[in-house]
Amino acid sequence: METPLINGRTRVVGIFGDPVEHTFSPAMHNAAFAALCLNFAYLPFRVRKEELPAAVAGLRALGLVGVNVTVPHKEAVLPYLDEVTPEAKLIGAVNTVVNRNGRLTGYNTDATGFLRALREAGCEPAGAEAVVLGAGGAARAVCMALGMAGARRIVVFNRTYERAQALSREVQANTETTAVALPWEDLNKRKADVFQAAGVVIQTTSIGMHPEKSACPAVSPAAFRKNQLVVDLIYNPVETRFLQMAAEAGAATQNGLRMLLYQGIAAFELWTGSSPPEEIMLQGLAAMKGA
Ligand code: NDP
């Protein structure tokens, strides 16, 4: 396998975020470009909040093929795009932009990636009963994806209760799914009626993420059971304390690596029109662990 040299024909993609130092995406995409001998390069771009409009104008001016968009720009980028897919519009966030001859289209491949990862873990979202911890950007993608895929009921816990209420109202208004908001303080009180009743529990907060590896949402181990899938969107560390606790209680678990991989694959396909070698992308991600 030859890594293509950067030359006058190299096509550029990248990621807009702040911070971007810890992103795993360049490793994943550049490994796939090299494996397919595609003359593309994926670069990190640290874009401060106030510089986002200039960065989007630069994307057009420099003819970038597209970018991923991450914290804090996923919602803020929408007004600067020419069009947004109905899914991304409903989620209210874009994580992938494609530049077609100066016309910018926004997609949300986090939602696609999440659903693919969920199905791979054996959980069919249609008809599912889900508990979601968090109501931030990732939770929005998860809840809307579940709603659009026909989940029966979602219970959302969030520290800022108003955000949980707003998210559940939006899910109810735009999908057939029943959505309920509960206060964060109730996490440990709703073992039997909420947690045990759910087929899938999804942890979307940043609690337990590197470097705060010992942190864990205040859920009791008694909340989990066999024949239940527990997902944590965090991928660094590979197993959060939350996932560890769920696994010890007999639940099946999945970390955020699969969602990260599948959102990346969907973005790769949008930019290049080619299907990437998934194993190589996964190896690219694995090489970043602990980086
Ligand atoms: P946001 O900043 O949008 O949301 C953060 C969420 O975490 C909010 O619900 C926030 O609650 C909650 N939270 C943060 N700290 C605490 C705390 N100490 N106690 C209780 N709640 C807390 O971030 P994102 O939604 O974009 O990302 C969240 C996580 O998901 C990150 O770990 C990120 O890496 C991961 N992620 C993984 C992806 C993947 O592909 N695997 C994709 C996207 C995200 P409040 O509303 O009260 O502030």
- Its pTM stands at 0.94
Q: What are phi and psi of 252, to 5 degrees?
A: -80, 145
What dihedral do alpha carbons 9, 13, 18, 24 form, nearest 10°? Answer: -110
Contact 65, 271 (CB under 8 A): yes
Q: Ligand 1: distance of its center to the CA of 147 in Å?
A: 19
Does the active-site annotation cover 89?
no
pLDDT of residue 118: 98
Active-site residue, from 74, 191, 213, 226 = 74
Burial of 18 (0-12, 13-18, 19+ CB in 10 A): middle
Best residue among 159, 165, 210, 282 to mutate for probing ligand 1, ranked by most atoms within 8 Å of CB: 159
Whole-angstrom distance, CA of residue 122 vs CA of residue 254 = 11
* 273, two tokens: 């029109």
What contacts 59, CB < 8 A, 6 or more positions away? 66, 67, 97, 99, 104
User: Ligand 1 centroid vs 274 CA: distance in angstroms?
Assistant: 31
**Encoding tokens for residue 126?**
């249609």
Look at residue 62 in the predicted model and tell me its pLDDT.
Answer: 98
pLDDT given for residue 192 in this prediction: 80
State in Å: Cα 205 to ligand 1 middle: 3
- Give the C-alpha distances (Å, rounded to integers) separating 226 from 155, 198, 230: 20, 11, 10
Q: Which residue's C-alpha comes closest to atom 20 of ligand 1?
A: 159
Q: At what angle do helices 137-148 and 161-174 cross, to 10 degrees?
A: 30
**Largest Cα–Cα distance in the chain?**
61
pLDDT at 1: 52
**Mean pLDDT split into 10-residue runs, the chain, 291 residues:** 78 97 94 96 98 98 98 96 96 97 97 97 97 95 97 98 98 97 94 92 96 94 96 95 97 97 98 96 84 49
Residue 290 has what pLDDT?
A: 54
Is there a contact between 214 and 253 (Cβ–Cβ < 8 Å)? no
Can you state the angle between helices 137-148 and 109-120, rounded to 10 degrees?
60
Strands lying side by side in the sheet with 153-158: 178-183, 153-158, 129-133, 200-203, 229-232, 252-254
CA dist 156 → 75, 85, 181, 205, 227 (Å):
20, 25, 5, 12, 21
Q: Of the residues 233, 257, 263, 265, which should be mutated to test ligand 1's pocket, given the most ligand atoms within 8 Å of the CB?
A: 233
**Bridge partner residues of 99 (DSSP):** 104
User: Which residues lie closer than 8 Å to 65 by C-beta, 6 or more apart?
Assistant: 11, 12, 13, 40, 98, 99, 271, 272
The rounded Å distance from CA 31 to ligand 1 centre is: 28
Residue 286: the pLDDT is 86
Q: Which residues form ligand 1's pocket by a CB distance below 6 Å?
A: 71, 110, 134-139, 158-160, 163, 204-207, 209, 233-235, 256, 259-260, 263
If phi over 0 gives left and psi between -120 and 50 gives alpha, with beta otherwise, what is residue 69? beta
Residue 190: per-residue pLDDT: 84
In a mutational test of the pocket of ligand 1, which residue from 115, 182, 205, 236 has the highest number of ligand atoms less than 8 Å from its CB?
A: 205
Which H or E element spans position 221? none
Give the gyration radius of the chain's Cα atoms: 19
Quote the CA–CA distance of 245 and 241 in Å, as a whole number.
Answer: 6
Q: Whose CA is nearest to atom 46 of ligand 1?
A: 160
Q: Could you tell me the distance, in angstroms and rounded to a whole number, from the CA of residue 251 to the centre of ligand 1?
A: 22
pLDDT at site 42:
98
For residue 134, the CA-to-ligand 1 centroid distance in Å is: 6
Residue nearest to atom 36 of ligand 1 (CA): 233
Q: Is 36 in a helix, a strand, or coil? A: coil
Taking the CB of residue 54, how many other CB atoms lie within 10 A of it? Answer: 12
